[in-house]
């Protein structure tokens, strides 16, 4: 009797463009797989929305990606990871898709971040939703109880990025303002984690605006290796993933905007398709 093997895709989801910084890192470490990216640009930003709304939007996106035959979905959004991931993993997944997997970006980041800090004083920049969830304080506290952590919400950065307003004075103004607010919370911070996937696109600009001794960590450098490691530890999942090196892009808003911003994020042209959630 012959058995039919059915290979499946890897979904990557974010509220908008930010998850592309994670997709790029995933491909740097594991380019062989077929990635299906979904940006909910029509409803971004998530960071200022309620728990219920973020859960509803994230669940709709997950449902969509599972219907497109994704075996695993990486929630490449801290806000959705903080507010919706656990509920979806614990309630929705076992009931509807028990053989599929959903991973987030907070765990790979919080496991490792204290190792970068000599002073054991780390700052987190994130959306208001992620800050309010206190997920970073709780998880870093679990992994590295000797590390002091301060959080700073940076609500203006995602709207600026989603509108293509980078490398300009408006962005500099907010970066400097958020750093002043961060620095006033705790002495001797030596490490800043960009805990919103959008912020990585501002890495050079943030570096130029901050004191030179501050180490700036973007999440792709943590999530990429962690995904590779996950695949090596889970052959039952890995062997079911298709490997044709394709990347497909879906957006809930206008494709022209998505395509031009995506090119800035990824460094190559893409042709997205518009979908409704
Ligand atoms: N990129 C997302 C994150 O990592 C959120 C952006 C937003 O929609 O506010 O938190």
148: left (phi over 0), alpha (psi -120 to 50) or beta: beta
| Residue 2 within any structural domain of the chain | no
| Residue 22 within any structural domain of the chain | yes
The pLDDT, as a whole number, for residue 2 is: 47
Indicate if 215 and 112 belong to the same structural domain: yes
Kindly state if the Cβ of 144 falls inside 6 Å of ligand 1.
Answer: no
Q: How far from chain centre, in Å, is Cα 189?
A: 23
| Residue 1 within any structural domain of the chain | no
Q: How many domains does the chain have?
A: 2
pLDDT digits 0-9 by tens, 22-35: 999 999 999 999 99
Q: Which of 176, 192, 219 is the last residue of a domain?
A: 219
Kindly state if the Cβ of 39 falls inside 6 Å of ligand 1.
Answer: no
Indicate if 40 and 16 belong to the same structural domain: yes
Kindly state if the Cβ of 59 falls inside 6 Å of ligand 1.
Answer: no
Q: Which of 194, 219, 244 is the last residue of a domain?
A: 219
Q: Is the pLDDT of residue 167 over 90?
A: no
Q: Which two tokens stand for residue 83?
A: 């507010």
Indicate if 98 and 234 belong to the same structural domain: yes
Query: Which atom of ligand 1 is found nearest the CA of 48?
Result: 9
Q: Is 54 in contact with 85 (CB distance < 8 Å)?
A: no
pLDDT digits 0-9 by tens, 214-237: 999 999 999 999 999 999 999 999
Most informative mutation of 49, 78, 156 for ligand 1 (most atoms within 8 A of CB): 78
- If you average pLDDT over residues 80-99, what whole number do you get? 96
The pLDDT, as a whole number, for residue 166 is: 87
Most informative mutation of 15, 83, 133, 252 for ligand 1 (most atoms within 8 A of CB): 15
Most informative mutation of 39, 54, 151, 196 for ligand 1 (most atoms within 8 A of CB): 196
Q: What is the CATH number of the domain that holds 29?
A: 3.40.50.1860
The pLDDT, as a whole number, for residue 6 is: 83
The pLDDT, as a whole number, for residue 263 is: 96
The pLDDT, as a whole number, for residue 5 is: 66
Indicate if 95 and 121 belong to the same structural domain: no
Q: Which of 219, 242, 259 is the last residue of a domain?
A: 219
Query: Which atom of ligand 1 is found nearest the CA of 197?
Result: 4
Indicate if 96 and 226 belong to the same structural domain: yes
Kindly state if the Cβ of 197 falls inside 6 Å of ligand 1.
Answer: yes
Kindly state if the Cβ of 130 falls inside 6 Å of ligand 1.
Answer: yes
pLDDT digits 0-9 by tens, 33-45: 999 999 999 999 9
Indicate if 116 and 209 belong to the same structural domain: yes
Q: Considering the entire predicted model, what is its pTM?
A: 0.95
Indicate if 99 and 17 belong to the same structural domain: yes
- If you average pLDDT over residues 60-82, what whole number do you get? 97
The 3-class SS string of the chain reads CCCCCCCEEEEEEECCCCHHHHHHHHHHHCCCCCEEEEECHHHCCCCCCCHHHHHHHHHHHHHHHHHCCEEEEEECCHHHHHHHHHHHHHHHHHHHCCCCEEECCHHHHHHHHHHHCCCCEEEEEECHHHHHHCHHHHHHHHHCCCCEEEEEECCCHHHHHHCCCCCCHHHHHHHHHHHHHHHCCCCCCCEEEECCHHHHHHHHHHHHHCCCCCEEEECHHHHHHHHHHHHHHCHHHHCCECCCCCEEEEECCCHHHHHHHHHHHHCCCCCCEECCC
What band does 79 get if pLDDT is binned at 50, 70 and 90?
Answer: very high
Backbone angles phi, psi at 14, to 5 degrees: -145, 165
| Residue 266 within any structural domain of the chain | yes
Kindly give, in sequence order, each residue whose CB lies less than 8 Å from that of residue 220, ignoring residues fewer than 6 positions away: 21, 22, 24, 25, 28, 200
The pLDDT, as a whole number, for residue 92 is: 95
Kindly state if the Cβ of 79 falls inside 6 Å of ligand 1.
Answer: yes
More confident residue, 163 or 184: 184
Indicate if 101 and 115 belong to the same structural domain: no
Nearest to 10 by CA among 101, 79, 84, 80: 101
| Residue 3 within any structural domain of the chain | no
Which residue range(s) make up the domain with 189? 107-219
Active site residue 263: no
- If you average pLDDT over residues 248-256, what whole number do you get? 97
| Residue 89 within any structural domain of the chain | yes
Backbone angles phi, psi at 218, to 5 degrees: -100, 150
Query: Which atom of ligand 1 is found nearest the CA of 47?
Result: 9
Q: Is the pLDDT of residue 1 over 70?
A: no
Indicate if 87 and 132 belong to the same structural domain: no
| Residue 146 within any structural domain of the chain | yes
Indicate if 213 and 248 belong to the same structural domain: no
Total Cβ atoms within 10 A of residue 155: 15
The pLDDT, as a whole number, for residue 225 is: 97
| Residue 206 within any structural domain of the chain | yes
**What average pLDDT does the chain have?**
95
Indicate if 189 and 251 belong to the same structural domain: no
Indicate if 205 and 168 belong to the same structural domain: yes
Kindly state if the Cβ of 133 falls inside 6 Å of ligand 1.
Answer: no
Active site residue 77: yes
- Which of the following is catalytic: 77, 147, 154, 171? 77
């Amino acid at each position: 009797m012959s058995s039919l093997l059915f290979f499946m895709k890897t979904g990557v989801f974010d509220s908008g463009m930010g998850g592309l910084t994670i997709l790029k890192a995933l491909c740097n470490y594991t380019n062989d797989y077929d990635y299906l990216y979904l940006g909910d640009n029509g409803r971004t930003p998530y960071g200022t929305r309620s728990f219920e709304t973020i859960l509803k939007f994230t669940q709709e996106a997950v449902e969509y990606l599972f219907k497109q035959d994704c075996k695993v979905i990486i929630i490449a959004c801290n806000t959705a990871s903080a507010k919706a991931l656990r509920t979806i993993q614990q309630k929705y997944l076992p009931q509807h898709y028990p053989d599929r997997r959903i991973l987030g970006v907070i765990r790979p980041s919080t496991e490792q971040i204290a190792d970068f800090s000599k002073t054991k004083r780390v700052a987190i920049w994130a959306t208001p939703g992620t800050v309010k969830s206190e997920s970073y304080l709780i998880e870093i506290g679990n992994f590295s109880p000797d590390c002091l952590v301060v959080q700073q919400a940076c609500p203006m950065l995602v709207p600026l990025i989603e509108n293509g307003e980078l490398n300009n004075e408006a962005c500099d103004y907010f970066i400097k303002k958020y750093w002043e607010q961060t620095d006033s919370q705790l002495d001797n911070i030596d490490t800043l984690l960009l805990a919103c996937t959008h912020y990585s696109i501002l890495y050079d600009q943030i570096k130029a605006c901050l004191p030179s001794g501050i180490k700036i960590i973007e999440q792709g450098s943590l999530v990429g290796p962690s995904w590779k490691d996950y695949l090596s530890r889970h052959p039952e999942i890995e062997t079911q993933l298709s490997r044709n090196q394709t990347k497909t892009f879906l957006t809930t808003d206008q494709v022209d905007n998505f395509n031009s911003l995506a090119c800035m994020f990824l460094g190559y042209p893409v042709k997205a398709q518009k979908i409704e959630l």
